[in-house]
């Protein structure tokens, strides 16, 4: 087989079907790697991928499997797909004004089948679960991974369990997981506690773990870099900015762009910048510490952006590689900055969930600080759909959003509903 799993710390090699989530020798994270380079010319690959867009083959309809030359499966693999990927890359004039950055584009991963970027990884992880003959799949989640796994497990007819922090997941995400038939276990404790529990539970191999520590998730998510490069006619932006929680997605973008560069499909890397919520920002603190020596978890992560309320991100070594090898950075933004940026993205007619808005908040800050120049091109990755957390939106627009520290968040771009009597005169007076 052309592919192997390799430990990023001690470089030990393992077969693809070794049901491992971390290196059995040193505990390091694993990458799926190709033994030799892709032989095809960049131009013929580009042509092939473009041609597949007009095909009716399920593998070609998927924005992930369309790039299957870079995925660790035989060409005739029986995929588990919901036609994920193929998400829009938007111009966003209001967000661009807000950031003082004319060349801003938003890649909306919230337009995936279950409303988040997780689907691009889940199609590959659940396909691998089926290849391995797994009888049960599971994950810990702040909500989106749960919704995504539940959907793909349902498609594959595989029983699945998800472990979520009780009372801390938005209703929309919970509703999805329930509707898709997952066994939903709400435990007392935050996401980090859920993650520890699931890792212990899956250690003996009887249950297949599909959190992003599983390298097959990263394989799927890396294809977003391919799709984005294609949408930009293979010219990479100066900066790519994305939210950071468990740090799988930052790792995936790093790997995707690295493989594109190695294959001659692009000629340089974008700087990858990760943005965290200030109350859940262990990676930003690690980055700010000049020596980058010890990674210190945040014991009590706090943010209203519940998707990224994570204090012990498992994939930080891979994300660190992505940031350092591209000359990017890691920053944190406040609850107020996230809320305002989210409302501005909404005014572009796009919308996203709170975690995704860290990107525009972060870009505004980076432009203000001169780290990003006004003349540079930037793509922000919106990771989740607006409808993932409507309580947050309604509270912001009715000026009743309260940060975890008890501070009221100002509705600087609030658009509150107006109560009016059912008379035409009264309604006309308001228009
Ligand atoms: N944005 C959204 C909407 C998310 O749901 C997540 C993570 C992230 C950003 C951060 O991505 O973890 O790869 O750094 N959500 C996970 C979940 C943790 O369980 O749904 P990351």
Residue nearest to atom 7 of ligand 1 (CA): 307
Residue nearest to atom 6 of ligand 1 (CA): 307
Rounded to the nearest whole angstrom, what is the distance from the C-alpha of residue 217 to the centroid of ligand 1? Answer: 12
| Mutual angle of helices 118-131 and 144-156, in 10-degree steps | 40
Average of pLDDT values for 397-418?
97
Q: pLDDT band at 293, cuts 50/70/90?
A: confident
Rounded to the nearest whole angstrom, what is the distance from the C-alpha of residue 245 to the centroid of ligand 1? Answer: 5
Q: Which residues line ligand 1 (CB under 6 A)?
A: 116, 141-145, 212, 243-250, 307-308, 353, 355-356, 383-384
Rounded to the nearest whole angstrom, what is the distance from the C-alpha of residue 220 to the centroid of ligand 1? Answer: 15
232 has a pLDDT exceeding 90: yes
Q: What is the pLDDT of residue 292?
A: 85
Rounded to the nearest whole angstrom, what is the distance from the C-alpha of residue 109 to the centroid of ligand 1? Answer: 12
**Distance, CA of 211 to chain centre:** 12
Q: What is the pLDDT of residue 280?
A: 98
Q: pLDDT band at 1, cuts 50/70/90?
A: low
98 has a pLDDT exceeding 80: yes
Q: Residue 316: CB partners within 8 Å, gap ≥ 6? A: 247, 282, 283, 286, 295
- For the CA of 248, the closest atom of ligand 1 is 13
291 has a pLDDT exceeding 90: no
Rounded to the nearest whole angstrom, what is the distance from the C-alpha of residue 124 to the centroid of ligand 1? Answer: 17
Rounded to the nearest whole angstrom, what is the distance from the C-alpha of residue 376 to the centroid of ligand 1? Answer: 27
Average of pLDDT values for 33-55?
95
Model pLDDT for residues 339-364, shown as the tens digit of each residue: 999 999 999 999 999 999 999 999 99
Q: pLDDT band at 376, cuts 50/70/90?
A: very high
- For the CA of 353, the closest atom of ligand 1 is 3
Structure tokens at 349: 């007619």
**Alpha-carbon torsion (147, 378, 264, 60), positive or negative:** positive
Q: What is the pLDDT of residue 27?
A: 95
Q: What is the pLDDT of residue 45?
A: 98
Q: Single out the residue of 7, 408, 425 nearest to residue 215, CA to CA.
A: 7
Rounded to the nearest whole angstrom, what is the distance from the C-alpha of residue 246 to the centroid of ligand 1? Answer: 7
Q: How far is residue 11 from each of residues 7, 219, 362, measured CA to CA in Å?
A: 5, 18, 35
Mean of all residue pLDDT scores within the chain: 97
Average of pLDDT values for 158-183?
97
212 has a pLDDT exceeding 80: yes
Q: Select from 214, 243, 362 the residue to mutate for testing ligand 1; criterion: most ligand atoms less than 8 Å from CB.
A: 243
> E strands along 204-341, which residues?
208-209, 239-243, 271-277, 329-333
39 has a pLDDT exceeding 90: no
- For the CA of 142, the closest atom of ligand 1 is 19
Residue nearest to atom 19 of ligand 1 (CA): 141
Average of pLDDT values for 196-200?
95
Model pLDDT for residues 301-329, shown as the tens digit of each residue: 999 999 999 999 999 999 999 999 999 99
């Amino acid at each position: 087989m052309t592919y192997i799993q390799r430990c990023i710390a001690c470089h030990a090699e393992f077969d693809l079907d070794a049901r491992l989530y971390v290196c059995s020798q040193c505990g390091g994270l694993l990458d799926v790697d190709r033994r030799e380079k892709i032989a095809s010319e960049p131009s013929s690959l580009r042509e092939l991928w473009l041609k597949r867009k007009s095909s009716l083959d399920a593998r070609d309809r998927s924005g992930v499997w369309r790039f299957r030359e870079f995925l660790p499966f035989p060409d005739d693999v029986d995929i588990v797909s919901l036609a994920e990927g193929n998400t829009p890359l938007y111009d966003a004039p209001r967000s661009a004004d807000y950031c003082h950055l004319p060349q801003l584009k938003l890649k909306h991963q919230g337009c995936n089948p279950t409303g988040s970027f997780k689907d691009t990884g889940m199609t590959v992880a659940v396909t691998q679960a089926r290849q391995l003959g797994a009888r049960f799949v599971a994950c810990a989640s702040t909500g989106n991974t749960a919704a995504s796994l539940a959907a793909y497990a349902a498609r594959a007819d595989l029983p699945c369990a998800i472990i979520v922090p009780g009372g801390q997941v938005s209703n929309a995400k919970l509703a999805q997981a329930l509707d898709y038939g997952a066994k939903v276990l709400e435990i007392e404790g935050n996401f980090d506690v859920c993650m520890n529990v699931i890792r212990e539970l899956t250690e003996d191999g009887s249950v297949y773990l599909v959190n992003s520590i599983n390298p097959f998730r990263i394989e799927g998510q890396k294809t977003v870099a391919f799709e984005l490069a294609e949408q930009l006619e293979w010219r990479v932006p100066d900066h790519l900015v994305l939210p950071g929680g468990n740090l799988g997605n930052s790792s995936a973008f790093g790997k995707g762009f690295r493989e594109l560069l190695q294959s001659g499909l692009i000629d340089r890397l974008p700087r990858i910048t990760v943005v965290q919520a200030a109350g859940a920002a262990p990676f930003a603190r690690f980055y700010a510490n000049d020596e980058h020596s010890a990674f210190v978890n945040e014991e009590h992560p706090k943010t209203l952006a519940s998707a990224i309320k994570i204090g012990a991100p498992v994939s930080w070594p891979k994300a660190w590689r992505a940031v350092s090898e591209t000359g990017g950075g890691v920053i944190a933004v406040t609850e107020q900055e996230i809320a305002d940026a989210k409302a501005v993205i909404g005014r572009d007619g796009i919308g996203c969930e709170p975690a995704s808005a860290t990107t525009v908040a972060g870009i505004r800050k980076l432009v203000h600080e001169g780290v990003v120049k006004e003349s540079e091109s930037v793509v922000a990755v919106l990771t989740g759909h607006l409808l993932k957390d409507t309580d947050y939106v309604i509270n912001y627009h009715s000026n009743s959003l309260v940060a975890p520290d008890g501070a009221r968040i100002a509705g600087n771009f609030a658009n509150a509903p107006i109560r009016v009597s059912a008379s035409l005169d009264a309604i006309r007076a308001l228009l």
